[in-house]
Structure 1
Amino acid sequence: MLKQTIESLIKIPGAAQLLIILRGISQVVLINNALTGAVILFAIATVSIPLTIAAFVSSAIGTLTAYWGGADKNRIRNGLFGFNSVLTGMGLILYLSGPYKWIIALACAFITSFMTAALMRAMTPTGLPVLSIPFILITWMILLASYRLKAFTLTTELMPQNLSNWKLDISGSINWATGLFDGARQVFFLQNSVAGILILIGISIAGWKLGVYALLGNMAALATAYVLGAEHALIDNGLFGYNAVLAAVAIGSVYRNPHNKLAPLSAIIASCLTVLVISAVDSWLLPYGLPALTFPFVLSTWILLGARKTQMNF
């Protein structure tokens, strides 16, 4: 019945294009499912309408750019040229200020589609997926360019700091109940636990195992961060969980094959590894005032996927 309903909807003018845009949003969490994308878009809307618009329009821009460029139709249809543009558009809307931030954000969503295509080509010999590295590189480039180009103005939240003056503060309490969902919301830069619950529901719609891995990865990262003595405020805000959510879904399910008998263990290892990576990357980027974004997820996932080429059980 559901399949017949979807097939009927696709026949409506513009419906197929809408589904592709929604898949571009769902691919942020490595899922090819328009309904997941719709639920995530609704989750974003519960927090910010401007971010909702940025996500939808950015996905459309990335997808249309790939279509006009003659990219592979299956990749376009599956939303693979949309999700990096989604993250770039949303991220720059948040990290930039000034009257031109929307123009810059959407223009960079357009450029991100080119970066995605280029890296897909460059990384083909490695057998590793591009993941969200195009978003990371374009966003870092624009944020760094702000120190040399007047058109780009950073928000006051992104302030370069001297690492030698940094003091670790592990005071404060952690709300472990909401912490289970906060990692998922931070994938989309959101500050509302209800949005995190909705995103996890969206992930689970595509498969209950995906939802389990998302929760498992978040829990593993929170526990690791706490045991290793991370700042409680960062743990409480989900900033140690969002990379782990993505890594667990990627390693435990999306890129799993029948040879990976220890995939659940690999997913936990990847999730715990993101805690070490984000701590190191945050220290590295602190003097530049740059956010780590999803680089810990990308690096941890590449490490585990690369290891699988010689240690297939993982």
Structure 2
Amino acid sequence: MQNNKQNSLREGTLFSFISASFKGISQVILIENAITGFIILIAITISSYYLGIIALLSSILGTLVGKIGGADEKSINQGLLGYNSVLTGIALALFLNGPYMWIVALAGSAVAAILTAAIMHFMKKTEIPILTFPFIILTWFILLASYKLKGIKLSTTLVPQDLTHWELNIAGEINLLDGIFNGIGQVFFLSDAISGILIFIAVFWAGRRFGFYAIIGNAIALLTSYFLGGEHTLIMLGLYGYNAILTILAVSAVFYSKHNRFAPLSGIIAACLTVPITAAISTWLLPYGLPALTMPFVLCSWLFLGSRRILPKL
């Protein structure tokens, strides 16, 4: 009888750990749902099997760091120690080269969980969610370290550019279907239509409200970037869409009060703002050869979520 209880306890603990790891993937898009995380993992793996492996291992490492470190079980089970690790692992796997790339990517994903815990502590009193800020800061620092450390090699896709010779290229037509599906795919650095469709399915699985907001956020980004004269290549790649999707989900669907009638409008305005902020941050980072990542999403979400402490009806 005792052995049966011990086996049941182990099975329950293992299931809980696996569920938390999948939620670590789903929490990237602010959703706590293991099935959603599993579908997203399939979408990543279809686009790139090695990115799928990195994403899963990174989430497991983030969750494991939380377990070993004695984090609150609720936070671990919600996947809150895993999502920054997932993004960090994927980003480093994409933007670094060399024989140590896997080691650096997985080590970075483990450190991301520690940094997540630290920033959660520092921001606890503000009641403002940390979102993907730990992932952004850690990834930028590791990519910059590659200029001084021989063991960390930067990918040729990231090249510092001189702003004095920068030219805006708005030539060519826009394929809206590419922009639609790449927008949500770029949350996980994917530019693949099938993967984008699967991620939309994953979001709708968690709730129709999440799915509709994701569609609205993507549409807003496409329209705003087009009318502001954004580069057509960047629009089609979804590089203006993913921050808008995350922002409208945060402001209108996740961190809002049921008594706030203006939350949908606030989310729409915030999603619009991500476009010029994405352009500004991308320009600011050109001399360093760094990607904007999800910083526009973090800044726009903090702007509205922070203002609600003073303007609760916003």
Q: Does TM, normalized by the shorter one, top 0.5?
A: yes
Q: Is the 8 A contact 1:26 1:32 kept in 2?
A: yes
Alignment correspondent of 1:285? 285
Whole-angstrom CA distance in 2 between matches of 1:168 and 1:259: 44
Whole-angstrom CA distance in 2 between matches of 1:79 and 1:256: 20
Whole-angstrom CA distance in 2 between matches of 1:245 and 1:114: 27
Question: How many aligned residue pairs are there?
Answer: 306
Whole-angstrom CA distance in 2 between matches of 1:178 and 1:199: 14
Whole-angstrom CA distance in 1 between matches of 2:13 and 2:146: 42
Q: Is the 8 A contact 2:178 2:237 kept in 1?
A: no
Alignment correspondent of 2:3? none
User: Which has the higher mean CA deviation after the structures are superposed, 211-220 or 256-265?
Assistant: 256-265
User: Which has the higher mean CA deviation after the structures are superposed, 252-261 or 131-140?
Assistant: 252-261
Residue 46 of structure 1 aligns to a residue whose secondary structure is helix
In the alignment, does 2:213 pair up with 1:213? yes
Q: Is the 8 A contact 2:181 2:192 kept in 1?
A: no
Whole-angstrom CA distance in 1 between matches of 2:218 and 2:198: 15
- How far 1:124 sits from its partner (Å)? 1.2
Alignment correspondent of 2:255? 255
Structure 1 unaligned residues grouped into runs of 5+: 1-7
- How far 1:311 sits from its partner (Å)? 2.1
Where do 4+ consecutive residues of structure 1 move more than 6 Å? none
- How far 1:15 sits from its partner (Å)? 2.0
Residue 277 of structure 1 aligns to a residue whose secondary structure is helix
Residue type of the partner of 1:64? L
In the alignment, does 2:120 pair up with 1:112? no
Map 1:294-309; keep pairs closer than 5 Å: 294-309=294-309
Whole-angstrom CA distance in 1 between matches of 2:283 and 2:90: 24
- How far 1:11 sits from its partner (Å)? 5.2
Map 1:183-202; keep pairs closer than 5 Å: 183-202=183-202
Whole-angstrom CA distance in 1 between matches of 2:23 and 2:210: 16
Map 1:1-314; keep pairs closer than 5 Å: 14-314=14-314
Residue type of the partner of 1:166? W
Whole-angstrom CA distance in 1 between matches of 2:185 and 2:77: 26
Whole-angstrom CA distance in 2 between matches of 1:256 and 1:194: 31
Q: Is the 8 A contact 1:51 1:93 kept in 2?
A: yes
Residue 14 of structure 1 aligns to a residue whose secondary structure is helix
Q: Is the 8 A contact 2:46 2:195 kept in 1?
A: yes
Whole-angstrom CA distance in 2 between matches of 1:92 and 1:29: 19
Whole-angstrom CA distance in 1 between matches of 2:264 and 2:282: 27
Residue type of the partner of 1:255? F
Percent identity over the alignment is: 51
Q: CA RMSD in A?
A: 1.3
Q: Is the 8 A contact 1:61 1:110 kept in 2?
A: yes
Whole-angstrom CA distance in 2 between matches of 1:259 and 1:208: 20
- How far 1:258 sits from its partner (Å)? 1.6
Residue type of the partner of 1:147? Y
- How far 1:12 sits from its partner (Å)? 6.0
Whole-angstrom CA distance in 1 between matches of 2:313 and 2:138: 35
Q: TM-score, normalised by structure 1?
A: 0.95
- How far 1:14 sits from its partner (Å)? 2.4
- How far 1:13 sits from its partner (Å)? 6.7
Q: Is the 8 A contact 2:62 2:81 kept in 1?
A: yes
Whole-angstrom CA distance in 2 between matches of 1:201 and 1:265: 24
Q: TM-score, normalised by structure 2?
A: 0.95
Structure 2 unaligned residues grouped into runs of 5+: 1-7
Cα displacement string for residues 33-66 of structure 1 (whole angstroms, at most 9, x for unaligned residues): 0000011001111111100000000001011101
Q: Is the 8 A contact 1:259 1:312 kept in 2?
A: no
Residue type of the partner of 1:46? I
Residue type of the partner of 1:276? P
Whole-angstrom CA distance in 1 between matches of 2:111 and 2:186: 24
Cα displacement string for residues 127-176 of structure 1 (whole angstroms, at most 9, x for unaligned residues): 11010000001100000001111111011110000011100011111111
Q: Is the 8 A contact 1:221 1:272 kept in 2?
A: yes
